[in-house]
């Protein structure tokens, strides 16, 4: 097995309080961008290319499948941290550098540097560069949701040390009391209009395509429609907003951090362009015993129907309760919920009280609460091993962790669930008397 520069903090706690970053999601990067592009005079297929290019920055292409769980914590990798900073946390000063020296400013030159460059270089070939232009609009938009001093992720309670100089989550004052509040446009309605205005202005200035002059709508008529977009608090409400404006396909809202809401019908978005995973794709140079353990666990967790108790054999002490968190098996099942937006308040709950447990159970008892997957690879998004070396495309990545205080071997499997596409999970295990057990689950929010 291999181990790379992970410092272990001696800790008895196995429960974690992951930090979550509010970042705009596909309602903004795809839907709103598409709508604004049409208002700026682009044809539907042009608007589609721009918004796809923008949205795919958030894990829609394999090269964008980056997580600070890897590049800042488990496998420190400056190159990926730099790439993430440029797309989601634009700042004049580049990583590696402490977060307080790389403040993100909405409307800054750094945030629009990429879109300005495209507006220049696309002349004469503007029709071919629409997806790149969409990608370049991403940091312009994220500079609004990430404005302030980025927060370095902390997973110390799981004994995982992260490098502050490479790590980035949204500023503390934009991480509101509830994680749910922090991620949705409704929490920051005042941010939406200036963000949309900056996007619209860039769209209007994009060079003409094949000599066709675009006639943009007046900004006053556009801005008046934005407040109802910003305050929508369910996927159903967002979908209504888009349908009222001529969108027949609202599947791009799948996976955003809002709960479904009445009338939302779960539908998969097919806008990602990712390599197929096959059952055979596997990591070499990993202890076969730990690999077998994780394979067995993923089979039980990700396929078939949900059943309490099924995961108990994989958990160190399934009956133990931490006063502040929900039981581990319950949390693992919550991560599996199809409606991740509804699961978020429970996943990040810090009381672990009976009322919360009842609420979580009620959520799971709903019809079609869980997607049925035939094989684990259907339930996950593909990952790359983040380093200089070429990596196979993998359904999950297993890494060694330093041994525990009692000298027990530890490991972690990194996985990205299709039903929680904005987050990266780490399933932490420990070997006791020759057998592996899950001791905690950590997560980072990466876009
Ligand atoms: Zn982003």
Q: 302 and 228, same structural domain? A: no
What distances in angstroms separate CA 213 from CA 40, 123, 200, one per listed residue?
A: 11, 14, 16
Q: 182 and 56, same structural domain? A: yes
* pLDDT tops 90 at residue 324: no
Q: Which residue among 253, 276, 305 closes a domain?
A: 253
Q: Give the Å distance between the CA of 262 and the centre of ligand 1.
A: 28
Q: Give the Å distance between the CA of 57 and the centre of ligand 1.
A: 7
Q: Give the Å distance between the CA of 29 and the centre of ligand 1.
A: 8
- Rounded to whole angstroms, how far apart are CA atoms 281 and 384? 12
pLDDT bin (cut points 50, 70, 90) of residue 23 is: low
Does 354 map to a domain? yes
Q: 202 and 76, same structural domain? A: yes
Does 435 map to a domain? yes
- Rounded to whole angstroms, how far apart are CA atoms 126 and 132? 10
Q: 419 and 295, same structural domain? A: yes
Compute the Cα dihedral for 176, 366, 334, 28 and give only its sign.
negative
Rounded to 10 deg, the angle between the 354-365 and 328-335 helix axes is 40
Q: Give the Å distance between the CA of 393 and the centre of ligand 1.
A: 22
Residue with tokens 């509040």: 181
Task: Give the pLDDT score at 322.
Answer: 63
Does 190 map to a domain? yes
**Cβ burial 140-169 (10 Å sphere, 16+ → b, else e):** bbbbbbbbbbbbbbbbebbbbbbbbbbbbb
Domain range enclosing 430:
288-445
Q: Give the Å distance between the CA of 429 and the centre of ligand 1.
A: 30
- Rounded to whole angstroms, how far apart are CA atoms 343 and 331? 9
Q: Give the Å distance between the CA of 402 and the centre of ligand 1.
A: 32
Compute the Cα dihedral for 322, 325, 327, 328 and give only its sign.
negative
Q: Which residue among 231, 253, 275 closes a domain?
A: 253
Does 314 map to a domain? yes
Q: 306 and 181, same structural domain? A: no
Residue with tokens 């009338």: 263
Q: With beta carbons less than 8 A apart as the criterion, state whether 168 and 444 touch.
A: no
Q: 296 and 152, same structural domain? A: no
Question: Higher model confidence: residue 325 or residue 201?
Answer: 201
pLDDT bin (cut points 50, 70, 90) of residue 12 is: very low
Task: Give the pLDDT score at 18.
Answer: 36
User: Among the listed ranges 78-82, 231-235, 283-287, 379-383, which one has the minimum average pLDDT value?
Assistant: 283-287
Cβ neighbours for 156, distance < 8 A, ≥ 6 positions apart: 9, 11
pLDDT tens for residues 142-199? 999 899 999 999 999 899 999 999 999 888 887 765 445 556 798 888 999 999 999 9
Does 405 map to a domain? yes
Q: 329 and 226, same structural domain? A: no
- Rounded to whole angstroms, how far apart are CA atoms 67 and 385? 10
pLDDT tens for residues 326-349? 899 999 999 999 999 999 989 988
Q: Give the Å distance between the CA of 145 and the centre of ligand 1.
A: 9
Task: Give the pLDDT score at 116.
Answer: 98
Q: Give the Å distance between the CA of 408 and the centre of ligand 1.
A: 38
Q: With beta carbons less than 8 A apart as the criterion, state whether 238 and 256 touch.
A: yes
Number of domains in the chain: 2
- Rounded to whole angstroms, how far apart are CA atoms 201 and 36? 10
Q: 240 and 311, same structural domain? A: no
3-state helix, strand, coil in the chain (%, to 5): 40, 10, 45
pLDDT above 90 covers a percentage of the chain that reads 80
Q: Give the Å distance between the CA of 399 and the centre of ligand 1.
A: 26
pLDDT tens for residues 344-400? 989 988 888 899 999 999 999 999 999 999 999 999 999 999 999 888 999 999 999
- Rounded to whole angstroms, how far apart are CA atoms 220 and 215? 15
* pLDDT tops 60 at residue 9: no
Q: Give the Å distance between the CA of 58 and the centre of ligand 1.
A: 6
User: Among the listed ranges 7-16, 111-120, 211-220, 263-272, which one has the minimum average pLDDT value?
Assistant: 7-16
Q: 296 and 242, same structural domain? A: no
Task: Give the pLDDT score at 21.
Answer: 37
Kindly state the average pLDDT of the residues 317-334: 80
- Rounded to whole angstroms, how far apart are CA atoms 148 and 151? 9
Residue with tokens 């839907």: 31
Q: Give the Å distance between the CA of 26 and the centre of ligand 1.
A: 9
Q: 133 and 80, same structural domain? A: yes
pLDDT above 70 covers a percentage of the chain that reads 91
Q: Give the Å distance between the CA of 148 and the centre of ligand 1.
A: 15
Strand 423-432 and strand 397-401: pairing? Answer: unpaired
Q: Give the Å distance between the CA of 446 and the centre of ligand 1.
A: 8
Q: With beta carbons less than 8 A apart as the criterion, state whether 218 and 260 touch.
A: no
* pLDDT tops 60 at residue 17: no
Q: Give the Å distance between the CA of 17 and the centre of ligand 1.
A: 22
Task: Give the pLDDT score at 442.
Answer: 93
* pLDDT tops 60 at residue 15: no
- Rounded to whole angstroms, how far apart are CA atoms 281 and 264? 35
Q: Give the Å distance between the CA of 30 and the centre of ligand 1.
A: 11
**Cβ burial 81-117 (10 Å sphere, 16+ → b, else e):** bebbbbbbbbbeeebbeebeebbbbbebebbbbbbee
Does 31 map to a domain? yes
Task: Give the pLDDT score at 350.
Answer: 84
Task: Give the pLDDT score at 284.
Answer: 82
Q: 192 and 46, same structural domain? A: yes
Mean pLDDT of the chain: 90
Q: Give the Å distance between the CA of 90 and the centre of ligand 1.
A: 10
Q: With beta carbons less than 8 A apart as the criterion, state whether 446 and 68 touch.
A: yes
Task: Give the pLDDT score at 22.
Answer: 44
Q: Give the Å distance between the CA of 133 and the centre of ligand 1.
A: 15
Cβ neighbours for 159, distance < 8 A, ≥ 6 positions apart: 8, 9, 10, 11, 401, 402, 404, 410, 428
Q: 299 and 232, same structural domain? A: no
Task: Give the pLDDT score at 131.
Answer: 98
């Amino acid at each position: 097995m291999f181990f790379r520069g992970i410092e272990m903090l001696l800790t008895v706690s196995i429960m974690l309080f992951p930090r979550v970053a509010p970042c705009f999601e596909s309602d903004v990067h795809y839907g709103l961008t598409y709508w604004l592009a049409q208002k700026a005079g682009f044809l539907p297929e042009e608007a589609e290319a721009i918004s796809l290019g923008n949205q795919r920055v958030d894990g829609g292409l394999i090269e964008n499948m980056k997580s600070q769980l890897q590049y800042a914590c488990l496998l420190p990798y400056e190159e990926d941290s730099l790439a993430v900073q440029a797309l989601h946390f634009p700042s004049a000063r580049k990583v590696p550098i402490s977060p307080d020296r790389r403040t993100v400013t909405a409307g800054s030159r750094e945030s629009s540097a990429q879109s300005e460059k495209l507006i220049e270089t696309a002349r004469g070939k503007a029709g071919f560069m629409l997806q790149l232009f969409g990608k370049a609009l991403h940091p312009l938009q994220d500079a609004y949701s990430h404005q302030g001093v980025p927060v370095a992720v902390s997973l110390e309670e799981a004994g995982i040390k992260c490098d502050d100089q490479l790590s980035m989550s949204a500023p503390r004052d934009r991480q509101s009391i509830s994680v749910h509040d922090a991620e949705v446009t409704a929490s920051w309605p005042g941010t939406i209009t200036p963000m949309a205005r900056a996007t619209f202005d860039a769209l209007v200035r994009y060079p003409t395509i094949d000599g066709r002059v675009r006639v943009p709508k007046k900004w006053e008529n556009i801005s008046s429609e934005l407040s109802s977009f910003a305050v929508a608090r369910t996927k159903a409400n967002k979908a209504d907003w888009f349908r009222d404006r001529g969108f027949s396909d609202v599947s791009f809202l799948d996976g955003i951090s809002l709960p479904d809401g009445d009338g939302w019908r779960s539908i998969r978005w097919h806008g990602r362009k990712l390599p197929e995973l096959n059952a055979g794709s596997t990591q070499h140079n990993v202890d076969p015993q730990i690999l077998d353990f994780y394979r067995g666990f993923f089979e039980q967790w990700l396929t078939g129907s949900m059943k309490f108790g099924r995961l108990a054999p994989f958990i160190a002490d399934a009956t133990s309760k931490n006063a502040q968190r929900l039981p581990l098996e319950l949390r693992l099942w919550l991560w599996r919920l199809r409606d991740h937006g509804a699961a978020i308040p429970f996943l990040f709950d810090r009381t672990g009280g009976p009322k919360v447990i009842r609420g979580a159970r009620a959520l799971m008892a709903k019809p079609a609460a869980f997607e049925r997957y035939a094989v684990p690879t259907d339930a996950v998004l593909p990952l790359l091993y983040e380093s200089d070396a070429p990596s196979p495309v993998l359904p999950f990545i297993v890494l060694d962790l330093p041994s525990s205080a009692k000298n027990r071997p530890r490991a972690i499997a990194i996985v990205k669930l299709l039903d929680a596409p904005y987050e990266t999970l780490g399933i932490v295990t420990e070997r006791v008397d020759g057998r592996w057990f899950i001791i905690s689950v950590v997560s980072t929010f990466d876009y």
